[in-house]
Structure formats: structure tokens, C-alpha cells
């Protein structure tokens, strides 16, 4: 007999800890696969959903949008994957393919977007279902634990990095966590000089950044020896947008990679003068995913991971909140 119920960490109400529960194993509908989840990355966005910074999640909800597992069931219409194949499920869980954004190649802005672990159930559970069109085959060189953070920290980090533009020689990274440590390696590989900015005084993360090839690492209150051409803000702190704007060279762009941040303080126009830009990045496209998962093993991007058991998901979230982690948190299921 196949099991009918599974263990999952359930979000029943925002601002309350997740609860371990036994829930029915989801059944795939047309075009969907059923995954036996093996690992799932923990992302700052999970904290934003938990804390109520992001409104109106599906409730009760299974969080987690960096889902790694093997195909355990297929519904009619599934043609890309076979039983037993290892695949990954990212944040982008569904688009309608027909709205004006989808039609012009910006499916990340789809009017009817559904997101894994937010408006769809995610991977903090033994099983998950996903629309096969949005799943990715995963590079075989990575273990299930290593590959999980590539699915959001990697993919959305990659989109953020690409938004910095092609002509960037010196790249500032504010917030050197899961996404920062992945993107620094890619930027290095592409011949860019990385300037890593951490919380003031966080010498441990600064040495971690240098170890991963950063040209310079220091506190966000310090001035680097050269002005970055672009800066990625990967911490949810609005004031860093202004700090980064002050630091970038003429024509520089400051890109926020997160889905939520604290308010951005007002700033004098001269900081934006000389064609500086501030912008955000929302979600990802499938093309971002395909490009990044192709280039990551070539670098090769290595992920620093702290793993937790499924039932310790609350602990993983708290460690992420307090900044205790170098790299990424991953649940093993």
C-alpha cells in the first residue's frame, strides 16, 4: 500500500511558528508531477511570508520554493520528466502564458502568477505537486543539499545580477548571504571585481566573502577602494539602497533582489544624478532558470549550506533571521 498521508510543516496563521502535521499527500492534476521531496531550501521570502510582510498567502500553507525531489507520480499530459528523475521546483509555479506580460517575454510579471510556497503549497513536506512546465532538471554534479539554494538564491540572484548590466567591471554586493555568496562566484568567473558589503563589524562574513573570491570585503559603512559600477542589494534593508546609491560610480545601477524591504529613506537628487538608476527585480522567468542552471556547474558555483531536519524548520528560519548562517539553510526531508 502506498502511503496516503505525509509529514509537513504547516503555516496555519501568519506570525505563528510552523506546526508539524500529518496531511494528505497531494494528488497531481493534469500536467503536474508528484515529487518525493528530498531537500528544500529556506529563503528570506519564507520569513517575509511567515512575518506577514507579504499579504494573503494560501492558508494553511506549506512554505518552501527551492524544492528538490524525485518524480514519484505523473498525471496525464506530463511529457518532460520520467518516474524517478530528479527535478527542482522554483518560486515561479504557474503563469497563464496569455497576458500581455507573458506575451512580451516577462512571465515573471504575469497577471495571474502563482508562486510555490506562497500561493501554491511548497516543499517543507515529504511530497509536493508541481506544474511540469515550471520545473527544472538539475545538474548532476550537485548533491540534493547543495543544489537546493540554487533554485531561488541562485535563480533570483542571477536575474538581479543580470539587471546590473553587461558593462559592469566592479560589482558591489550588499548583504552577503545565500544569494550573495552564489552570485559572487559567478561574477568572479565572468571577470568582475566583487566588493562585498556586510553588516558593520561582521568580520566572519567578510572573510567568507574573500574566501569566495571577493576583491574587497568590508562593512556597509565603509568605503571601498574603488567605486562599484553597479550594486546588488540582497538584504531587506531599505537604507542600503541609499548607501549603495552613494557608493556607485556615474551611470551606476542599484538593484534590489528581494521581494520586500523596509522603507527606503528619502535622499537628495544629486545621489541619483549622472544617470544612476535604482530598480527592483521581481520573481524569475524560466529562461533565467535555464541559463543559470547551465552556467552554475561551469563556474563551478559551490554552495555553503547548513542543513536542518524538516521538523526543525522554525529553527532554520530563526537562524536565517538572526544572520547566524554563512551561506544558505536547507531542510533535509
Binder among 9, 102, 184, 244 for Zn ion (CB under 5 A) = 102
To 10 degrees, what angle do helices 313-322 and 44-51 make? 100
**Interaction between residue 234 and Zn ion (CB under 5 A):** no
Binder among 10, 40, 42, 43 for Zn ion (CB under 5 A) = 43
Smallest separation (angstroms) from Zn ion to the CB of 260 = 11
Binder among 6, 34, 110, 234 for Zn ion (CB under 5 A) = 110
Of 152 and 234, the one with the shorter C-beta distance to Zn ion is 152
Tell which positions 290-319 bind Zn ion, by CB under 5 A: none
Distance CA 132, CA 321 (A): 32
Tell which positions 190-219 bind Zn ion, by CB under 5 A: none
Q: What angle do CA 46, 12, 26 make, to 5 degrees?
A: 85
Specify the stretch interacting with Zn ion by CB under 5 A; choose among 71-79, 102-110, 141-149, 283-291.
102-110
Of 45 and 303, the one with the shorter C-beta distance to Zn ion is 45
Smallest separation (angstroms) from Zn ion to the CB of 111 = 5
**Interaction between residue 45 and Zn ion (CB under 5 A):** yes
Distance CA 55, CA 68 (A): 26
SS3 61: strand
Q: Are 134 and 81 in contact (CB under 8 A)?
A: no
Could you tell me which residues come within 8 angstroms of residue 52 by beta carbon, excluding any fewer than 6 positions away?
Answer: 14, 15
**Interaction between residue 261 and Zn ion (CB under 5 A):** no
Q: Are 225 and 235 in contact (CB under 8 A)?
A: no
Specify the stretch interacting with Zn ion by CB under 5 A; choose among 12-20, 44-52, 142-150, 269-277.
44-52
Of 160 and 198, the one with the shorter C-beta distance to Zn ion is 160
Binder among 27, 51, 96, 204 for Zn ion (CB under 5 A) = 96
Smallest separation (angstroms) from Zn ion to the CB of 25 = 24
Smallest separation (angstroms) from Zn ion to the CB of 210 = 26
Smallest separation (angstroms) from Zn ion to the CB of 90 = 8
Residue in 229, 152, 157 with CA at minimum distance from that of residue 195: 229
Residue in 301, 332, 304 with CA at minimum distance from that of residue 316: 332
Could you tell me which residues come within 8 angstroms of residue 186 by beta carbon, excluding any fewer than 6 positions away?
Answer: 158, 161, 295, 296, 299, 301
Beta bridge partners, 231, equal 172, 254
Of 72 and 305, the one with the shorter C-beta distance to Zn ion is 305
Secondary structure of the chain: what % helix, strand, coil (to 5)?
30, 25, 45
Of 42 and 333, the one with the shorter C-beta distance to Zn ion is 42
Specify the stretch interacting with Zn ion by CB under 5 A; choose among 107-115, 167-175, 260-268, 319-327.
107-115
**Interaction between residue 152 and Zn ion (CB under 5 A):** yes
DSSP label at 297?
Answer: T
Residues at the interface with Zn ion (CB under 5 A): 43, 45, 95-96, 99, 102, 110, 152
Amino acid at each position: 500500500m502506498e502511503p496516503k498521508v505525509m509529514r509537513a510543516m504547516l503555516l496555519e496563521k501568519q506570525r505563528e511558528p510552523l506546526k508539524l502535521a500529518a496531511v494528505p499527500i497531494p494528488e497531481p492534476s493534469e500536467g503536474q508531477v508528484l515529487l518525493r521531496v528530498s531537500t528544500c531550501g529556506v529563503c528570506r521570502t519564507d520569513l517575509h511570508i511567515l512575518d506577514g510582510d507579504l499579504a494573503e498567502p494560501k492558508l494553511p500553507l506549506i512554505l518552501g520554493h527551492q524544492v528538490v525531489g524525485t518524480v514519484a507520480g505523473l498525471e496525464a499530459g506530463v511529457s518532460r520528466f520520467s518516474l524517478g528523475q530528479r527535478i527542482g521546483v522554483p518560486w515561479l509555479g504557474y503563469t497563464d502564458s496569455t497576458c500581455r506580460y507573458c506575451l512580451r517575454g516577462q512571465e515573471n510579471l504575469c497577471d495571474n502568477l502563482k508562486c510555490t510556497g506562497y500561493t501554491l503549497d511548497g516543499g517543507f513536506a515529504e511530497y509536493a505537486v508541481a506544474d511540469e512546465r515550471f520545473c527544472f532538471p538539475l545538474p548532476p554534479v550537485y548533491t540534493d543539499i547543495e543544489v537546493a539554494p540554487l533554485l531561488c538564491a541562485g535563480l533570483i540572484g542571477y536575474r538581479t545580477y543580470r539587471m546590473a548590466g553587461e558593462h559592469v567591471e566592479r560589482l558591489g554586493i550588499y548583504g552577503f548571504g545565500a544569494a550573495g555568496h552564489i552570485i559572487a562566484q559567478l561574477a568572479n568567473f565572468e571577470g568582475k571585481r566583487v566588493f562585498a558589503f556586510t553588516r558593520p563589524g561582521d568580520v566572519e562574513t567578510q572573510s567568507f566573502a574573500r574566501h569566495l573570491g571577493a576583491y574587497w570585503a568590508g562593512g556597509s559603512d565603509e568605503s571601498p577602494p574603488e567605486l562599484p559600477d553597479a550594486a546588488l542589494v540582497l538584504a531587506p534593508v531599505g537604507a542600503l539602497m541609499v548607501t549603495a546609491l552613494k557608493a556607485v560610480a556615474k551611470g551606476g545601477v542599484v538593484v534590489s533582489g528581494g521581494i520586500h524591504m523596509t522603507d527606503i529613506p528619502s535622499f537628495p537628487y544629486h545621489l541619483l544624478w549622472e544617470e544612476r538608476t535604482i530598480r527592483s527585480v521581481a520573481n524569475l522567468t524560466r529562461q533565467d532558470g535555464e541559463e543559470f542552471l547551465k552556467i552554475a556547474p561551469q563556474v563551478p558555483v559551490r554552495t555553503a549550506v547548513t542543513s536542518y531536519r524538516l521538523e526543525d524548520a522554525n529553527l532554520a528560519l530563526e537562524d536565517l533571521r538572526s544572520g547566524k548562517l554563512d551561506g544558505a539553510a536547507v531542510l533535509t526531508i
